[in-house]
Structure 1
Amino acid sequence: MYYTQNCNHQSSCLRIVPVFQGLDHEELATIQSVTNSSCYKKGDYIFREGEHSDSLFVVHEGLIKLSKLNEEGKEQIIRLLFPGDFFGQFALLQNSNHYANAEALEQTTICSIEKAAFLDTLGKNPTMALHFINALNNRLFLADEWMSLLSLMEVEKRLARVILLFFEKVEVRNNEFMLPIPKKDLASLIGTTPETLSRKLLSFAEQEIIAVKQRRVIQVLNLDTLKDLAGL
């Protein structure tokens, strides 16, 4: 289901994305004039694999899951997108269809920027173009790093990396945060089974690195050890 109520967050959407920093007032106004904001409920799809769109999407509020289904119909989570992240750029730049599903995991606000105006502004603004190239390069680096993480690193290191990611991205109070996805999705994200994930979480808790509380609440007890486990 798609839910496209306008939410009027165009201006604040642009401000939270590094790509658009450095634009002058006229350039920002041009982008803002072709930016639309839409609200999605949990479980709604922004787009599905194989669909086409002519927009760049920005997460303003909420959480997005990018995923694909393998030949057996099993879901593989590719990436989680947090406020400030942009997506849909490959379909936009290559004039191709989306390679994955984009699903809202909670009440989410998305801003979409029309292709023609975006590319026109990009062409006229070398600073913005450089920011965009750097952002794409960083995205490719993170994708390569994640593939290496899944193929070469042990489950403990993958899990430690993801806990640190959530610790950075979601609301944290007293070193506590709620896992933004169910444990079965977390297992998919790090390329393991739910049973193995539960054992590793228990092991982390027994080592007093984290505490696992009710309703998916994690408390980080030893951040330095967690970083060591993650190889950081």
Structure 2
Amino acid sequence: MSLEGLFPIDKWDLRSGSILHQLPEADEERLRLHMSEQRYAKGDLLFREGGLPLGIFFIREGRVKRFTTDRDQKEHILYVANKGELLGYHAVLAEERFPDSAAALEDTRVAFIPREDFLATLDTSAVLSRRLLRAFSHEYTVLTNSISIFAQRSVRERLAITLIVLREKYKENSHRGPVSINISREDLANMVGTAKENVVRLLREFKTAHIVETRGRTIFITNLKKLIDISTFGPEGI
């Protein structure tokens, strides 16, 4: 089922996957000059908040969470990045330390492009410059939307929104049946901004209402329309 006309998913997706897509051949050659690949197991850190950016990360397979940690060491997940998306370029361009951390949500394969090669390509590529500018502008819109919407929504509504967004992130795993979202309750709670107990209770309610099914940590959305209704972000709110 498509979300078109039902839920404004573009307001929740950073679209960084388009930055390196089908660049001119010369640009791709510069980026590949010293590119390396690494595999990360679930929970492995790609980079840590406050660390020095030595390059950028391109997700070839898997999913990565971006998060910050408060003084009590509780995670606050800001975004889930998919295959094809780019991480770390903000800190490289700003010449600042990483403002957040990134860790694999599952087995993940990532290409690393050294800072010098990325900046050298950017200096000579009008295409890459334009795409980065568009990405920055759209990201500002997405983050502003997320902050404002989540500040006004109940935990139940925030969970519904989060599940809808995750459905788009995980739908490539599903061929014909319901989309399966393989995520821990702790990570889900850190995305919603609530305690794990609240997420477990609300998922039980959604299951009783035949909106989702669960098998272990995997969540299957079986009634997307009801979930959109709960989010109060349906066509009237678009």
Superposition TM-score, scaled by structure 1 size:
0.84
Q: In the comparison of the two structures, how many residue pairs are matched?
A: 216
| CA RMSD in angstroms, aligned pairs only | 2.0
Contact 2:56 2:89 in 1 (8 A): yes
CA distance in structure 1 between the partners assigned to 2:22 and 2:163 by the alignment: 33
Correspondences of 1:50-199 after superposition (within 5 Å): 50-170=50-170, 171-199=173-201
Shift in Å at residue 105 of structure 1? 2.3
Contact 2:66 2:80 in 1 (8 A): yes
1:29 matched to 2:56? The reply is no
Q: 1:5: which partner in 2?
A: none
Contact 2:76 2:191 in 1 (8 A): yes
Structure 2 counterpart SS, 1:30? helix
Q: 2:223: which partner in 1?
A: 222
Structure 2 counterpart of 1:44, which letter? D
Contact 1:57 1:88 in 2 (8 A): yes
CA distance in structure 1 between the partners assigned to 2:101 and 2:133 by the alignment: 24
CA distance in structure 1 between the partners assigned to 2:109 and 2:184 by the alignment: 21
Shift in Å at residue 180 of structure 1? 2.9
Structure 2 counterpart SS, 1:135? helix
Structure 2 counterpart SS, 1:77? strand
CA distance in structure 2 between the partners assigned to 1:52 and 1:95 by the alignment: 9
Superposition TM-score, scaled by structure 2 size:
0.82
- How big is each residue's C-alpha offset from its partner over 1:151-178, in whole Å with a ceiling of 9 and x where there is no partner? 1112222112221122212112544344
Q: 1:6: which partner in 2?
A: none
More displaced stretch, 108-117 vs 175-184: 175-184
CA distance in structure 2 between the partners assigned to 1:149 and 1:165 by the alignment: 14
Structure 2, unmatched stretches of 5+, are: 1-15
Mark the CA change 1:22 to 1:221 in structure 2 (over 3 Å): closer, same or farther: closer
After TM superposition, the runs of 4+ consecutive aligned structure 1 residues lying more than 4 A away are none
- How big is each residue's C-alpha offset from its partner over 1:13-37, in whole Å with a ceiling of 9 and x where there is no partner? xxx9311235222222121223221
Structure 1, unmatched stretches of 5+, are: 1-15
Structure 1 counterpart SS, 2:66? strand
